[in-house]
């Protein structure tokens, strides 16, 4: 076990470096390379095509019959609605997750562990099954529709196959990702700070706004990121609960790799999604650094 | 007295928990705290002193009784509507705010204009000599500095009464002594009532105008530090504050008390049968073996610089401490038998 320590360190690092390279580096590069190629035969990719940015151009412009490029907003609209849908879901998760996390932090040790277990249980259930469950609840003869109709009889209310259904489904799926980081912040929270705020004249809501929320901000940011980013790429929930009408970025990508057999265009979309997520995370990091300073 | 009291606690009781697990923390406590008084609640942990402070601050609600601050009944008022501010045991400074934002917190709640807030924050920080730390965050300050900021924060809104919950207990001894002096000066400067909670009897005696000694949810004795020290009425008070010698004796009719050795002393009392006498170590004197009220054997002598402390064994085996401030006087050799003279005016007959 003698020899150059630098070499030895490199040797010990090799498994980790190899894992990162093979499982993350290579696939990402492959994805980017494919996004520059053309749609081809049965495999979906024409590996011999000359690389070009054609697929990215197709996202925004369409070539007319006479060769002029005209603006095609359909993909931009889907991108925008994906962002909007993810933002709404994040907001709803925060709205429901914050009180739950606050309440959990105030429980006894045993009760807390129980609640953590209950909150993570849905993770163990198949995503499809959970979405089908919402399908049953939200459809016209489902109990929720029936109940609403019973309270305000104005004809059946369409709950399924719209943006609302997708928002409900996504919020349900990603709520634990909001609750858990918030809970870790609140668990460490010094409750005497709220007493101090009251003592200094702050009412309940003022103490919440001036003390609790600012101190919980790292948890709120982490939870929002954990909900927002997977929401952008979600495709099971929009496909099932949106009824194929309300498409999100994830659905288009899935379509390209599946039915359309256009891997390069799907890869280009995936790269755009990746870039979008990266952008959000960088913004978040910059904002957090500024706050710390 | 009532109208001029800064704080008036009337027959307040408080319990926690329900059913079999219920605990009575305060039992029918009544106190009147005067204007600009430095009043201390002293007692061991669990005696109810902190609960009483929290009731006054409004963090807890009394089960029974009334709390009146500056003539205003606040028994049911929330903490943010009471003219008191608290210095918390571990300071409870807001970690996300700077020192000046911490100090200005209450002023923002009072919707004071920004320029006035700036002036008042500056004033308050100057009072505790922390002006140069205004832009720091609490995490960048030492314990003593955080303590000062906590004081400035609680004083900035100019409360009628300042509540201090063991504010010095987290500091080391040297810093604690410094802060004690500063607290006393600060109180004189601010001219407001201080209600101080501590388990440190020395701190209580040093700082206070009046001390209330608490045990088991009750106030046992209340008075000036000198009275509490010199004239303890309860065995607990005598034992808790400073060193004291407790001697079992028998009360006789006509104010006489018979000691174990048969000697009699005349001390005013209303007791009957067995009683406990208390005498401070510095009040007893060593005399010739057959001249004193009691006989004792010298076990050990400690030199403290300002005094000698003799550890003596009484004939029944009990330990008796005697403090001799006359360093040049005769010093009984270890193992010798001496007589103890107990001046009648220094002896206290205690309630159990």
Decide if pLDDT at A1 tops 60: no
**Two tokens, residue A11:** 């040797």
- Cα B323 from Cα B307, distance rounded (Å): 7
Using CA coordinates, name the residue in chain A closest to B103: A200
3-state SS, residue B218: strand
Q: Which residues of chain B have pLDDT under 70?
A: 1-3, 352
Residue A258 to residues A128, A176, A253, B66, Cα–Cα distance (Å): 18, 30, 8, 75
Q: Which residues span the domain enclosing B335? A: 243-350
Q: Which of B185, B207, B230 is the last residue before a domain boundary?
A: B230
Question: Does residue B237 fall inside a structural domain?
Answer: no
| Kind plus residue range of the DSSP H or E element containing B260 | none
Q: Which of B230, B262, B279 is the last residue before a domain boundary?
A: B230
CATH of the domain at B344: 2.40.50.140
Distance from CA of A108 to the nearest CA of B (A): 15
Question: Does residue A66 fall inside a structural domain?
Answer: no
pTM above 0.80, yes or no: no
State the number of CA atoms in the 13 A half-sphere of A255 facing the CB. 10
- Cα A270 from Cα A284, distance rounded (Å): 21
**Two tokens, residue B74:** 């606040």
| Optimal mutation site among A185, A189, A193, A201, interface B, most CBs of chain B within 10 A | A201
In a shared domain, residues B153 and B178: yes
Question: Does residue B238 fall inside a structural domain?
Answer: no
Largest separation between any pair of C-alpha atoms in chain B: 79
Whether B98 contacts chain A with CB within 8 A: no
Q: Output the pLDDT for position B1.
A: 44
CATH of the domain at A118: 1.10.3720.10
Say which residues have a Cβ less than 8 Å from residue B23's Cβ, sequence separation at least 6: B15, B16, B17
- Cα B286 from Cα B58, distance rounded (Å): 53
In a shared domain, residues B14 and B149: yes
| Kind plus residue range of the DSSP H or E element containing A47 | none
Residue B187 to residues A270, B120, B205, Cα–Cα distance (Å): 68, 17, 16
Decide if pLDDT at A293 tops 60: no
Question: Does residue A259 fall inside a structural domain?
Answer: yes
- CA-angle at B98, arms to B94 and B100, nearest 5°: 105
- Cα A122 from Cα A179, distance rounded (Å): 13
Do residues A131 and A169 lie in contact, with contact meaning Cβ atoms separated by under 8 Å?
yes
Q: What's the total number of domains in chain B? A: 2
Q: Which residues span the domain enclosing A158? A: 76-292
In a shared domain, residues B293 and B144: no
In a shared domain, residues B163 and B307: no
Helix A74-105 and helix A263-292, axial crossing angle in degrees, nearest 10:
40
Where is pLDDT greater, at A20 or B270?
A20
Q: What is the pLDDT of residues A107-140, one digit of tens each?
A: 989 999 999 999 888 888 888 888 888 888 888 7
Cross-chain residue pair A192–B90, CB shorter than 8 Å: yes
Contacts of B90 in chain A (CB under 8 A): 192
Where is pLDDT greater, at A158 or A264?
A264
What end-to-end distance do the CA atoms of chain B give, in Å?
A: 30
What end-to-end distance do the CA atoms of chain A give, in Å?
A: 46
Whether A148 contacts chain B with CB within 8 A: no
Q: Output the pLDDT for position B53.
A: 95
CATH of the domain at B93: 3.40.50.300
- Cα B340 from Cα B261, distance rounded (Å): 11
Q: Looking at the partner chain, which of A193, A200, A211 has a beta carbon nearest the beta carbon of B157?
A: A200
**Two tokens, residue B272:** 């009957």
- Cα B199 from Cα B176, distance rounded (Å): 14
Question: How many whole angstroms from its chain centre is CA A278?
Answer: 12
Strands B161-165 and B84-87: parallel
**Helix and strand numbers, DSSP H then E, in chain B:** 8, 20
In a shared domain, residues B252 and B198: no
Cross-chain residue pair B106–A195, CB shorter than 8 Å: no
Do residues B128 and B148 lie in contact, with contact meaning Cβ atoms separated by under 8 Å?
yes
Decide if pLDDT at A4 tops 70: yes
- Cα B232 from Cα B241, distance rounded (Å): 9
Question: Does residue A50 fall inside a structural domain?
Answer: no
Residue B103 to residues A288, B129, B144, B225, Cα–Cα distance (Å): 25, 13, 16, 33
* Closest C-alpha among B177, B169, B173, B252 to residue B207: B177
Contacts of A290 in chain B (CB under 8 A): none
Written as one string, the DSSP assignment of A49-104 is: SPP-SHHHHHHHEEE-TTS-EEE--HHHHHHHHHHHHHHHHHHHHHHHHHHHHHHH
Question: Does residue A10 fall inside a structural domain?
Answer: no
Q: Looking at the partner chain, which of B57, B95, B110 has a beta carbon nearest the beta carbon of A215?
A: B95
- Cα A129 from Cα A289, distance rounded (Å): 40
Query: Considering only A40-54, A218-232, B63-77, which range has the smallest mean pLDDT?
Result: A40-54
3-state SS, residue B294: strand
Do residues B83 and A199 lie in contact, with contact meaning Cβ atoms separated by under 8 Å?
no
Question: Does residue B235 fall inside a structural domain?
Answer: no
Question: Does residue B96 fall inside a structural domain?
Answer: yes
Q: Which of B182, B202, B230 is the last residue before a domain boundary?
A: B230
Question: Does residue A198 fall inside a structural domain?
Answer: yes
Q: What's the total number of domains in chain A? A: 1
Q: What is the pLDDT of residues A185-223, one digit of tens each?
A: 999 999 999 999 999 999 999 999 999 999 999 899 999
- CA-angle at A85, arms to A82 and A89, nearest 5°: 135
Question: How many whole angstroms from its chain centre is CA B203?
Answer: 6
3-state SS, residue B198: strand
| Optimal mutation site among B61, B74, B77, B80, interface A, most CBs of chain A within 10 A | B80
Confidence of residue A246 (pLDDT cuts 50, 70, 90): low
* Closest C-alpha among B57, B43, B45 to residue B9: B57
Of all residues in chain A, the percent with pLDDT exceeding 90 is 40
Burial A16-38 (b: 16+ CB within 10 A, else e): eeeeeeeeeeeeeeebeebbbbb
In a shared domain, residues B149 and B178: yes
In a shared domain, residues B249 and B199: no
Torsional class of B317: left (φ above 0), alpha (ψ -120 to 50), beta (otherwise): left
- CA-angle at B133, arms to B127 and B136, nearest 5°: 135
Question: Does residue B66 fall inside a structural domain?
Answer: yes
Question: How many whole angstroms from its chain centre is CA A265?
Answer: 22
Please compute the mean of the pLDDT values over residues A70-94 and round it to a whole number.
89
Q: Is the ipTM of this complex over 0.90?
A: no
Distance from CA of B3 to the nearest CA of A (A): 25
Question: Does residue B342 fall inside a structural domain?
Answer: yes
Q: What is the pLDDT of residues A142-175, one digit of tens each?
A: 788 778 777 776 666 777 788 888 899 999 999 9
In a shared domain, residues B251 and B104: no
* Closest C-alpha among B220, B222, B190, B189 to residue B208: B222
> Which position has the token pair 């001029």?
B4
Q: Looking at the partner chain, which of B85, B95, B96 has a beta carbon nearest the beta carbon of A200?
A: B85
* Closest C-alpha among B1, B41, B9, B31 to residue B163: B41
| Optimal mutation site among A108, A195, A197, A200, interface B, most CBs of chain B within 10 A | A200
In a shared domain, residues B63 and B108: yes
Q: Output the pLDDT for position A280.
A: 87
Contacts of B86 in chain A (CB under 8 A): 195-196, 199
Whether A206 contacts chain B with CB within 8 A: yes
* Closest C-alpha among B129, B135, B227 to residue B178: B129
Using CA coordinates, name the residue in chain B closest to A292: B96
What does residue B25 show for φ and ψ, rounded to 5 degrees?
A: -100, -35
Cross-chain residue pair A195–B59, CB shorter than 8 Å: yes
Where is pLDDT greater, at A183 or B264?
A183
In a shared domain, residues B204 and B334: no
Q: Looking at the partner chain, which of A190, A199, A211 has a beta carbon nearest the beta carbon of B79?
A: A199
Please compute the mean of the pLDDT values over residues A66-95 and round it to a whole number.
88
Q: Which of residues 60-89 of B touch A (CB under 8 A)?
A: 78-80, 84-86, 88
In a shared domain, residues B260 and B312: yes
In a shared domain, residues B311 and B214: no
| Optimal mutation site among B21, B51, B79, B136, interface A, most CBs of chain A within 10 A | B79
């Amino acid at each position: 076990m003698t020899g150059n320590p630098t070499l030895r360190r490199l040797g010990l690092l090799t498994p980790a470096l190899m894992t990162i390279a093979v499982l993350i580096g290579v696939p990402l590069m492959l994805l980017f390379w494919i996004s520059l190629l053309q749609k081809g035969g049965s495999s979906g990719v024409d590996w011999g095509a000359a690389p070009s940015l054609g697929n990215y151009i197709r996202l925004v412009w369409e070539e007319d019959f006479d060769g002029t490029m005209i603006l095609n907003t359909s993909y931009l609209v889907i991108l925008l609605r994906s962002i909007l849908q993810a933002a709404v879901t994040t907001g709803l998760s925060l709205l429901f997750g914050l009180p739950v996390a606050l309440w959990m932090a105030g429980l006894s040790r045993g009760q807390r562990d129980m609640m953590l277990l209950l909150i993570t249980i849905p993770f163990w259930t198949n995503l499809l099954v959970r979405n089908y469950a919402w399908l049953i609840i939200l459809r016209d003869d489902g109990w929720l529709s029936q109940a609403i109709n019973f309270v305000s009889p104005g004809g059946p209310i369409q709950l399924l196959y719209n943006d609302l259904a997708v928002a409900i489904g996504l919020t349900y799926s990603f709520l634990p990702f909001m609750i858990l980081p918030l809970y870790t912040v609140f668990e460490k929270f010094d409750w005497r700070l709220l007493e101090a705020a009251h003592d200094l004249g702050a009412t309940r809501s003022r103490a919440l706004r001036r003390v609790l929320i600012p101190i919980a901000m790292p948890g709120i940011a982490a939870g929002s990121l954990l909900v927002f980013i997977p929401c952008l790429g979600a495709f099971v929930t929009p496909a099932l609960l949106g009824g194929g009408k309300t498409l999100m970025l994830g659905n288009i990508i899935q379509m390209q790799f599946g039915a359309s057999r256009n891997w390069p265009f799907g890869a280009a979309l995936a790269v755009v999604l990746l870039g979008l997520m990266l952008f959000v995370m960088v913004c978040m990091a910059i904002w957090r650094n500024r706050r710390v300073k | 007295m009532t109208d001029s009291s800064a704080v008036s606690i009337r027959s307040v009781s408080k319990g926690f928990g329900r059913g079999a697990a219920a605990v009575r923390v305060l039992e029918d406590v009544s106190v009147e705290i005067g204007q600009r008084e430095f009043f201390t609640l002293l007692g061991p942990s669990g005696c109810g002193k902190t609960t009483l402070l929290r009731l006054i601050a409004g963090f807890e609600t009394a089960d029974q009784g009334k709390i009146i601050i500056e003539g205003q009944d606040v028994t049911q008022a929330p903490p943010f509507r009471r003219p008191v501010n608290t210095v918390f045991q571990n300071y409870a400074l807001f970690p996300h705010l700077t020192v000046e934002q911490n100090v200005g917190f209450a002023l923002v709640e009072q919707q004071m204009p920004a320029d006035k807030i700036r002036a008042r924050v500056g004033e308050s920080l100057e009072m505790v000599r922390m002006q140069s730390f205004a832009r720091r965050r609490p995490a960048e300050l030492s314990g003593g500095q955080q303590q000062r900021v906590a004081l400035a924060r609680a004083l900035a809104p100019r409360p009628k009464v300042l509540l201090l919950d063991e504010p010095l207990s987290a500091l080391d001894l040297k810093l604690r002594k410094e802060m004690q002096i500063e607290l006393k000066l600060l109180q004189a400067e601010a001219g407001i009532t201080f209600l101080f909670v501590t388990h440190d009897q020395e701190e209580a005696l040093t700082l206070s105008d009046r001390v209330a000694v608490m045990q088991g949810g009750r106030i046992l004795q209340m008075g000036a530090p000198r009275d509490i020290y010199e004239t303890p009425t309860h065995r607990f008070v005598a034992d808790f504050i400073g060193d004291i010698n407790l001697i079992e004796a028998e009360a006789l009719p006509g104010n006489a008390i018979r000691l174990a050795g048969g000697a009699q002393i005349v001390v005013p009392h209303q007791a009957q049968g067995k009683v406990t006498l208390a005498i401070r170590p510095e009040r007893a004197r060593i005399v010739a073996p057959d001249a004193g009220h009691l006989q004792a054997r010298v076990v050990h002598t400690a030199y403290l610089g300002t005094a000698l402390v003799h550890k003596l064994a009484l004939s029944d085996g009990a330990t008796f401490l005697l403090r001799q401030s006359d360093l040049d006087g005769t010093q009984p050799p270890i193992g010798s038998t001496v007589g103890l003279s107990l001046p009648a005016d220094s002896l206290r007959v205690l309630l159990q």
